[in-house]
Amino acid sequence: MVEENTILEFDFSTKQSVNRVLINILVKFSFIVLLIALSSYQNPSVNLNENHINYNSFDFRNSLEINLYSMISQPDSYSTQNINKQITELVSRFYKEREFQPAWTTNLRTNLQFRNFINILDSAKYYGFPIDYFGREKIKQLNTEFSKTNTLDTRINLEFTVSFSALKLMLYLNKGIIEKDTLSTDFISYESLPGILNNALNQNNLRNEILSQQPELVQLQNILSSLPNFIDLQLSIKYTTPKFIDDRLLAKGLYYAGITETSEIDSTDNNSAAIYKLQEQFHLPKDSNLNTITHQTLVSLLEYRYFQACLNLNRLRNIKNNDENYLFVNIPEFRLHVIESKQEKEVFNVIVGKQETPTPVLSSNIEKVITNPYWTVPKSIVDNEMLQKIRKDSTYLERNGYYIINGCEETVDISTINWNSNDPLGTRYFIRQKNSSTNALGLVKFIFPNEQSIYLHDTPSRGLFQQRNRTFSHGCIRLENPDKLAQYLTDKYYSENSLNIKKLIASKENNEINLTQKINIHIQYITCSGEENTDIKFYGDIYNLDKHDIMSIFSNQVEL
């Protein structure tokens, strides 16, 4: 009995020992698992397979949503004169559309899309952004911090900053550089950007989708195609010791700087004459050699040209144009370009306003073509130029084909006007010139609505088109070969019947042709263009606008 009881007691104690051991093992294992889980949450850089870490689900989505809501709902967090709040709203829409899933990061690191976007930011200077508008350095700093700490806060901060930068870049590529809140009136037109960005990420087509936000204006695309070559040349001259700069490279640099008329040189020419001209123009020691100070001056001139190119890209992005067909008048170039199906079809020479009466920048739609037009003289021209002539010569008006009309366009006897009074015409009468070959408007006039009363027209002073600098008008645009443009417009945009413009002109009758379809006309101030050989051609800054605009748009960070 004793032995049996002893055996039973042993068996029982053995089972209890085994159970205690198993329980201890389970407790210790559970504790270890708990420690790993806690350390993973606080520091996801623990050496586990990232697929086993679940901190990108609820925690990420919830924290991101709270952060975005907080940023948008705080009225004092953004200035009312700043666009940051609008872009933040686009960021919020972007994450809502993707159900607050991360876009640029995995649990432990940034993803391929992040690296693709950084590459785009690294090349921003090639798209006309000489300053870091998009937080490139901040993003790289946050990425470094995220790779070291892997905390939820740094991850969310990085996500938000990259998305903000991407949407801001898309906006600036489309609309131009805007620091103030100018989106209020047309913000709806940019609400599609978050969807476009999400689609680009889903389709792994980030670069193409972002860059496709740029306007399809021929003038803009031409500059973009030529800008990389110019930047490479500029940097080569800047960072090469003067005595090692190739003669042909230097010749092109001198041409871009506006020192020479051509970038081509003879094989025996070492640019000494052009260098001497540069030294003379900028009051440098004249030795015809590319010495240090001459080299520095050339570098500065080329840097200014780069900022001019960026400025003109920005001006072009400001234009609202959704059509494949349009007319483009470039004031400093003295040319009108006919664009059809996004291709240049015709080019016409033009005369533009003098410095004291500059042609304004505007966009409108051509509505009418008038053959054998009358000219109602603007009051400013009457007061400043004609009144003195009329007072000296009573036959001046009649000899030049002028007559007086009232507000109802009824002819008024010239003798009834007291020309010696301070304001003989007042607001009741107007001077009009008969339609003829000597009429100031010539034989054809093109009407498009605008507040400045600007229009395109012919001119009897056709010899002026031979001049290189064609700033002769009071603001309107005089056109060479206007009958050719009139025929093109009526053939394409007048559907009632075919018209022969030359016959209508020959009839000497005033004919007003209302186009059945309007065509956009953009009158712009663009001081460079991209050429077919990928060179950039710079034009004279005839109204002295570029330096002021560069300093204004690029935040006074440029020393000129």
**What pLDDT is stored for residue 15 in this prediction?**
43
Cα–Cα dist 189/200, whole Å: 18
> Is residue 105 pLDDT above 80, yes or no?
yes
Q: Dihedral (C-alpha) 110, 111, 115, 116: value to the nearest 10 degrees? A: -150
The arithmetic mean of pLDDT across residues 194-220, rounded, is 95
Coil, strand, or helix at residue 489? helix
In the predicted model, is pLDDT for residue 264 greater than 90? no
pLDDT at residue 8 in the model: 31
Q: Which residues contact 472 (CB under 8 A, 6 or more apart)?
A: 351, 354, 461, 464, 478
Residue partners of 258: CB distance under 8 A and separation at least 6: 301, 538
Q: Are 294 and 284 in contact (CB under 8 A)?
A: yes
Dist. CA 326–CA 321, nearest whole Å: 9
Q: CA dist 278 to 271, 272, 384, 560, Å?
A: 11, 10, 41, 17
pLDDT average, residue stretch 213-217: 93
The candidate with the shortest Cα–Cα distance to 339, out of 308, 316, 306, is: 316
pLDDT for residue 9 is more than 70: no
The residue among 446, 412, 456, 424 whose CA lies nearest residue 514 is 446
3-state class of 486 per DSSP? helix
* pLDDT for residue 71: 65
Computed over every residue of the chain, the mean pLDDT equals 85
Given a contact cutoff of 8 angstroms between Cβ atoms, the answer to whether 61 and 68 are in contact is no
Q: What are the extents of the domains in the chain?
A: 2-42, 58-211, 218-318, 333-373+437-524, 375-434
CA angle (298, 227, 206) in 5-degree steps: 140
Domain 333-373+437-524, architecture per CATH: Beta Barrel (2.40)
Please tell me the pTM assigned to this model: 0.84
Instruction: Return the bridge partners of 371, or none.
Output: 444, 511
Q: Residue 46 pLDDT more than 70?
A: no
What is the band of 267 on the pLDDT scale with cuts at 50, 70, 90? low
Residues 6+ apart with CB under 8 A from 435: 372, 373, 374, 508, 510
**How does pLDDT run across 159-169, given as a tens digit for each residue?**
999 999 999 99
From residue 458, alpha-carbon distances to 166, 268, 370 in Å are 48, 47, 11
Distances (CA, A) of 489 to 437, 500, 513: 22, 12, 10
Alpha-carbon span 337 to 328, nearest angstrom = 5
- Tens of pLDDT along 125-158? 999 999 899 999 999 999 999 999 888 889 999 9
Please tell me the predicted confidence (pLDDT) of residue 468: 93
Q: What is the pLDDT of residue 29?
A: 47
CA distance 370 to 341: 26
Q: For residue 187, what are the CA distances in angstroms to 74, 161, 194, 304, 490?
A: 20, 21, 13, 33, 36
Q: Which of 441, 395, 399 lies closest to 419 in space, CA to CA? A: 395
Show Cβ contacts of residue 182 under 8 Å, excluding neighbours closer than 6 positions. 83
Which has the minimum average pLDDT: 36-45, 333-342, 413-422, 533-542? 36-45
Closest CA to 235 of 221, 253, 219: 253
The model's pLDDT over 419-462, given as tens digits with 9 standing for 90+, comes to 888 888 888 899 999 988 888 999 999 999 999 999 999 999 99
In this prediction, residue 44 carries a pLDDT of: 37
pLDDT at position 291 over 70: yes
